[in-house]
Amino acid sequence: MGSWFASISSDPSRFVPLGGGLLVLLAIVLVLRRWWRSRVRLERRPLLTKAELELLAILRAALPSRLIGCQVSMGALLQPRRGINRRAASLARNKISQKVVDFAVIDPATGFVEALIELDDSTHDARRDAARDRLLAQGRYRVIRIPSRPRPTAETVRPYLASLER
Protein backbone atom coordinates (compact mmCIF):
# COMPACT_ATOMS: atom_id res chain seq x y z
CA MET A 1 0.00 0.00 0.00
CA GLY A 2 2.82 2.34 0.72
CA SER A 3 4.31 2.00 -2.79
CA TRP A 4 0.91 2.61 -4.48
CA PHE A 5 0.30 5.76 -2.44
CA ALA A 6 3.81 6.94 -3.11
CA SER A 7 3.34 6.52 -6.90
CA ILE A 8 0.08 8.56 -6.82
CA SER A 9 1.48 11.31 -4.65
CA SER A 10 4.65 11.52 -6.73
CA ASP A 11 2.75 12.11 -10.05
CA PRO A 12 -0.79 13.51 -9.42
CA SER A 13 -0.93 14.96 -12.95
CA ARG A 14 -1.86 11.51 -14.23
CA PHE A 15 -5.36 11.96 -12.71
CA VAL A 16 -6.09 15.47 -14.04
CA PRO A 17 -7.64 14.30 -17.38
CA LEU A 18 -9.76 11.74 -15.55
CA GLY A 19 -10.91 14.32 -12.97
CA GLY A 20 -11.69 16.87 -15.68
CA GLY A 21 -13.71 14.30 -17.61
CA LEU A 22 -15.66 13.38 -14.50
CA LEU A 23 -16.44 17.04 -13.83
CA VAL A 24 -17.71 17.53 -17.40
CA LEU A 25 -19.84 14.38 -17.11
CA LEU A 26 -21.25 15.55 -13.77
CA ALA A 27 -22.08 18.95 -15.26
CA ILE A 28 -23.89 17.29 -18.19
CA VAL A 29 -25.88 15.06 -15.83
CA LEU A 30 -26.91 18.05 -13.69
CA VAL A 31 -28.00 20.08 -16.72
CA LEU A 32 -30.01 17.17 -18.15
CA ARG A 33 -31.58 16.50 -14.76
CA ARG A 34 -32.65 20.14 -14.40
CA TRP A 35 -34.01 20.17 -17.97
CA TRP A 36 -35.97 16.95 -17.43
CA ARG A 37 -37.55 18.21 -14.20
CA SER A 38 -38.44 21.64 -15.58
CA ARG A 39 -40.02 20.33 -18.77
CA VAL A 40 -43.64 21.41 -18.95
CA ARG A 41 -45.90 18.49 -19.73
CA LEU A 42 -49.32 19.47 -21.04
CA GLU A 43 -52.14 17.79 -22.85
CA ARG A 44 -55.33 18.90 -24.52
CA ARG A 45 -58.55 18.92 -22.52
CA PRO A 46 -62.13 19.70 -23.46
CA LEU A 47 -63.24 23.30 -22.98
CA LEU A 48 -66.74 22.32 -21.84
CA THR A 49 -68.13 19.35 -19.98
CA LYS A 50 -70.98 17.36 -21.50
CA ALA A 51 -73.45 19.12 -19.18
CA GLU A 52 -72.06 22.54 -20.18
CA LEU A 53 -72.35 21.63 -23.87
CA GLU A 54 -75.98 20.67 -23.34
CA LEU A 55 -76.68 23.92 -21.50
CA LEU A 56 -74.92 25.91 -24.23
CA ALA A 57 -77.28 24.41 -26.83
CA ILE A 58 -80.27 25.33 -24.64
CA LEU A 59 -78.97 28.89 -24.13
CA ARG A 60 -78.37 29.40 -27.86
CA ALA A 61 -81.88 28.18 -28.69
CA ALA A 62 -83.50 30.29 -25.96
CA LEU A 63 -81.49 33.45 -26.73
CA PRO A 64 -80.94 33.43 -30.51
CA SER A 65 -80.30 37.19 -30.69
CA ARG A 66 -77.42 37.02 -28.17
CA LEU A 67 -73.85 35.81 -28.29
CA ILE A 68 -72.92 33.26 -25.66
CA GLY A 69 -69.33 33.35 -24.46
CA CYS A 70 -67.98 30.19 -22.83
CA GLN A 71 -65.42 29.88 -20.04
CA VAL A 72 -65.00 33.64 -19.73
CA SER A 73 -62.10 34.81 -17.58
CA MET A 74 -63.06 36.99 -14.64
CA GLY A 75 -60.00 39.04 -15.55
CA ALA A 76 -61.78 39.92 -18.81
CA LEU A 77 -64.85 41.02 -16.85
CA LEU A 78 -63.31 42.89 -13.91
CA GLN A 79 -60.33 45.11 -13.23
CA PRO A 80 -59.00 46.88 -10.14
CA ARG A 81 -60.69 50.21 -9.47
CA ARG A 82 -58.86 53.28 -10.68
CA GLY A 83 -56.99 55.28 -8.10
CA ILE A 84 -56.12 52.45 -5.71
CA ASN A 85 -52.50 51.87 -4.79
CA ARG A 86 -50.34 49.25 -6.47
CA ARG A 87 -50.56 46.73 -3.65
CA ALA A 88 -54.36 46.92 -3.50
CA ALA A 89 -54.53 46.57 -7.29
CA SER A 90 -52.30 43.50 -7.14
CA LEU A 91 -54.45 41.95 -4.42
CA ALA A 92 -57.59 42.66 -6.47
CA ARG A 93 -56.07 41.04 -9.57
CA ASN A 94 -55.03 38.00 -7.53
CA LYS A 95 -58.63 37.58 -6.28
CA ILE A 96 -59.90 37.13 -9.83
CA SER A 97 -56.93 35.57 -11.59
CA GLN A 98 -57.50 32.08 -12.94
CA LYS A 99 -61.23 32.22 -12.21
CA VAL A 100 -63.71 31.70 -15.02
CA VAL A 101 -67.44 32.02 -15.48
CA ASP A 102 -69.23 29.27 -17.38
CA PHE A 103 -71.17 31.53 -19.78
CA ALA A 104 -71.58 35.21 -20.58
CA VAL A 105 -74.69 36.45 -22.39
CA ILE A 106 -73.52 39.24 -24.70
CA ASP A 107 -75.51 41.80 -26.70
CA PRO A 108 -73.92 41.54 -30.18
CA ALA A 109 -74.72 45.16 -31.04
CA THR A 110 -72.93 46.67 -28.04
CA GLY A 111 -70.65 43.93 -26.72
CA PHE A 112 -72.25 44.56 -23.33
CA VAL A 113 -72.45 41.54 -21.01
CA GLU A 114 -76.08 41.27 -19.96
CA ALA A 115 -75.69 38.37 -17.56
CA LEU A 116 -73.33 35.67 -16.44
CA ILE A 117 -74.55 32.10 -16.20
CA GLU A 118 -73.11 29.43 -13.95
CA LEU A 119 -74.04 25.76 -14.16
CA ASP A 120 -73.98 24.69 -10.53
CA ASP A 121 -72.76 21.12 -10.53
CA SER A 122 -71.06 18.99 -7.90
CA THR A 123 -67.84 21.01 -8.20
CA HIS A 124 -69.54 24.13 -6.86
CA ASP A 125 -69.40 25.15 -3.22
CA ALA A 126 -72.06 27.57 -1.90
CA ARG A 127 -69.60 29.64 0.18
CA ARG A 128 -67.10 30.03 -2.65
CA ASP A 129 -69.91 30.76 -5.11
CA ALA A 130 -71.25 33.50 -2.84
CA ALA A 131 -67.77 35.06 -2.62
CA ARG A 132 -67.44 34.95 -6.44
CA ASP A 133 -70.90 36.50 -6.82
CA ARG A 134 -69.87 39.34 -4.49
CA LEU A 135 -66.80 40.00 -6.67
CA LEU A 136 -68.92 40.00 -9.82
CA ALA A 137 -71.51 42.26 -8.16
CA GLN A 138 -68.77 44.90 -7.80
CA GLY A 139 -68.77 45.03 -11.61
CA ARG A 140 -72.59 45.20 -11.52
CA TYR A 141 -72.93 41.82 -13.21
CA ARG A 142 -76.05 39.77 -12.76
CA VAL A 143 -75.23 36.13 -12.09
CA ILE A 144 -77.78 33.47 -12.99
CA ARG A 145 -77.15 30.12 -11.35
CA ILE A 146 -78.75 27.10 -12.96
CA PRO A 147 -78.66 23.86 -10.98
CA SER A 148 -77.28 20.83 -12.81
CA ARG A 149 -79.70 18.46 -11.04
CA PRO A 150 -82.16 17.61 -12.37
CA ARG A 151 -80.50 17.79 -15.79
CA PRO A 152 -81.37 21.19 -17.32
CA THR A 153 -83.87 21.19 -20.17
CA ALA A 154 -85.28 24.04 -22.25
CA GLU A 155 -88.36 24.05 -20.02
CA THR A 156 -86.46 24.11 -16.71
CA VAL A 157 -84.00 26.77 -17.91
CA ARG A 158 -86.62 29.13 -19.42
CA PRO A 159 -87.63 30.75 -16.06
CA TYR A 160 -84.00 31.61 -15.30
CA LEU A 161 -83.70 33.40 -18.66
CA ALA A 162 -87.08 35.18 -18.63
CA SER A 163 -85.54 38.59 -17.94
CA LEU A 164 -83.16 38.20 -20.90
CA GLU A 165 -85.66 37.15 -23.56
CA ARG A 166 -87.03 39.86 -25.84
pTM: 0.73
- In which order are the strands placed within the sheet that holds 100-106? 67-73, 100-106, 113-120, 143-147
Rounded mean pLDDT, 46-58 = 96
pLDDT given at position 109: 96
pLDDT above 90 as % of the chain: 66
Give residue 8's pLDDT. Answer: 55
The answer to whether the beta carbons of residues 157 and 62 sit under 8 Å apart is: yes
H helix runs in the chain, sequence order: 2-10, 16-38, 50-62, 74-77, 86-96, 126-138, 154-161
Q: What is the mean pLDDT of residues 29-57?
A: 88
Q: Which of 101, 135, 96 is nearest to 115 (CA)?
A: 101
pLDDT value, residue 32: 81
> Could you write out the DSSP letters of every residue in 107-131?
-TTT--EEEEEEEE-TT--HHHHHH
Provide the pLDDT for residue 10: 62
CA 18 to chain centre: 50
Would you state the pLDDT for residue 24?
84
- Residues 54, 56, 62, 68, Cα dihedral to 10°: 180
- Average pLDDT value over all residues in the chain: 88
